[in-house]
Amino acid sequence: MMNKNESERDYLKPGERADDLNRNNYKIIQNTKKFCFGMDAVLLSGFAKVLPGEKVLDLGTGTGIIPILLEAKTEGKHFTGLEIQEESADMARRSVAMNGLDDIIDIVIGDIKEASANFGLASFDVITSNPPYMNHGHGLVNPGDAKAIARHEILCSLEDVIRETSRILKPNGRFYLVHRPFRLVEIMNKLTEYKLEPKRMKLVYPYVDKEPNMVLLECVKGGKSMLKVEAPLIVYKEPKVYTDEIYDIYGY
């Protein structure tokens, strides 16, 4: 945590701001011209379960939102965020330092496709990921843009994420994923191909009368085949007004 001689400004670079996370007085550094975390990351942090003493890896951590929120919400032993974009990783590291979490959260710069070679096999109890959703260049304008890299499968594919997760997870370890329902068949096929058995699924709907636009999944490495479909999560009860469950996940 910042000492009495420090302020938020000491951690910020031009164009950045520190946003309140409503958890343990934690804040996160963001740059709106680059890429800011979305609701999907927050919902994943609320869906994931981390037990006391467990080690957690977040693949494609961006500015570190998921490790920071999981540290606040759980009793996990240690959290690691892997991010390939140096600018995002730098913001994540400064957020970790600003919140005084250097001893419990590591931010590592690296490629998801090489994660198992870098971390070793069966080295984490829990893995989370909020990966790029779009494949085949859907709406892609600038493949070098930070937002494009976060949203499109430019630097890694869904299979890369699932393959490396299967290698890095301990036996019976848990994988938590947020993605888009339109790719659900592909997701399920890849998960079972790599021995990550889907165990819990929750669909997220913007409104009660709309189609779902997110899916949350919990998978177990080497688990038996049995899937529990949980009650749906509705985001808004009316325009600009969240449901009580969303307010609870955000910590309001």
pLDDT tens column, 47-100: 999 999 999 999 999 999 999 999 999 999 999 999 999 999 999 999 999 999
Q: The whole model's pTM is what?
A: 0.91
Please write the tens of the pLDDT for every residue from 16-35. Answer: 999 999 999 999 999 988 88
All residues at 6 or more sequence positions from 26 whose CB lies less than 8 Å from its CB, including other chains: 20, 68, 69, 72, 99
What's the whole-number mean pLDDT along residues 39-50?
97
Name the more confident of 132 and 205. Answer: 205
pLDDT-wise least confident of 109-113, 129-133, 226-230: 129-133
- Percent of the chain scored above 70 by pLDDT? 88
Domain locations in the chain as residue ranges = 8-250
| Residues whose CB falls within 8 Å of the CB of residue 1, separated by 6 or more in sequence, listed in order | 99, 100
Residue whose token pair is 């869904």: 158
Strands (E), 149-229: 169-179, 196-205, 214-221, 228-229
Q: Angle between the 65-73 and 86-98 helix axes, to the nearest 10 degrees?
A: 30
Class of the CATH domain delimited by 8-250: alpha beta
Interval 179-208: pLDDT, tens = 999 999 999 999 999 999 999 999 999 999
DSSP label at residue 206: S
Give me the percent of the chain exceeding a pLDDT of 90: 83
129 φψ region: left (φ > 0), alpha (ψ -120 to 50), beta (else): beta
Those residues whose C-beta lies under 8 Å from the C-beta of residue 110, and which sit 6 or more positions away, are: 82, 83, 84, 118
Structure tokens at 103: 């001893």
Residue 173, classified by CB atoms within 10 Å of its CB into exposed (0-12), middle (13-18) or buried (19+), is: buried
Q: Is 87 helix (H, G, I), strand (E, B) or coil?
A: helix
Tokens representing 42 are 């927050």
| Widest distance between CA atoms in the chain | 55
**Confidence band of 147 (pLDDT split at 50, 70, 90):** low
How far from the centroid of its chain's Cα atoms is residue 97's Cα? 19
